Amino acid sequence: MSADPLQRAAAPQRSTTSPSAGGPGTSAIEVRRSSRRRRTVSAYREGDRTIVLIPARMSEAEERRWVNVMLDKLATQESKRRLGDTELAERAERLSAQYFDGRARPTSVRWVTNQNTRWGSCTPAEGSIRLSHRLQGMPEYVVDYVLLHELAHLLVPGHGPRFWRLLEAYPRTERARGYLEGVVAADRLPHVPGARGE
């Protein structure tokens, strides 16, 4: 996904910039079209922007499709850089500041390997948050959603309307929930012998 330096240096035929589909708090997307680029599409982060390089001949519909594909690929790559407990705690602090005005202040945030039926858990009385190791390797926005979900429990213990209103601030809540529901559904599918070369 790293961009070809020659392609980056070439002046784009057309460049469009739009806010990320993720909404406020996520990076802007800049699409650069190049007549020298024939078939390949690539993307990279540049500060708070995501640059997507595409061939000039692509239609607007193809551009939209490829932008989504490349955003997902970048998110997957970034999430594969495994976060340790310290980085996870720092991330929780940033998310609390960004979405909850810093009001959710956990005393500890860590990965655990004993949560196989939950993605995360929170003990508000202790201020502790635990995330299942099964989230490691999932897209960044999914991990952020689970962290925010548990941070919200520091402010509102139950799952009532007030709790869900807090999570509405995160623009990728529905997408992350859909992703996690898909993972759960896939786990429930019957195992088919011989599938995937088994």
- At 16-46, the pLDDT tens digits run 544 444 443 346 889 999 888 888 898 887 7
Give the model's pLDDT for residue 145: 96
Q: Compute how many other C-beta atoms are within 10 angstroms of the C-beta atom of residue 157.
A: 12
Residue 27's pLDDT is 60
Q: Are 25 and 98 in contact (CB under 8 A)?
A: yes
| Cα angle 64-1-51, degrees, rounded to a multiple of 5 | 50
The pair of structure tokens assigned to 166 is: 């807090």
Distance CA 50, CA 70 (A): 10
Residues of the chain with pLDDT under 50: 1-15, 17-26, 195-198
Q: How confident is the model at residue 94, as a pLDDT? A: 94
Characterize 26-48 residue by residue with b for buried, 16 or more Cβ atoms within 10 angstroms of its Cβ, and e for exposed: bbebbbbbbeebeeebbbeeeee
116 token code pair: 């196989």
Of 132, 131, 141, 130, nearest to 178 (Cα)?
141
The token pair at 41 is: 């599409």
Looking at the chain, how many residues does it have?
198
Nearest residue to 153 via CA among 143, 144, 162: 162
Which DSSP letter does residue 58 get? -
pLDDT of residue 85: 84
- Residue 39: the pLDDT is 84
Report how far apart, in Å, the C-alpha atoms of 3 and of each of 15, 38, 51, 65, 158 are. Answer: 16, 14, 9, 19, 45
What pLDDT is stored for residue 22 in this prediction?
A: 43
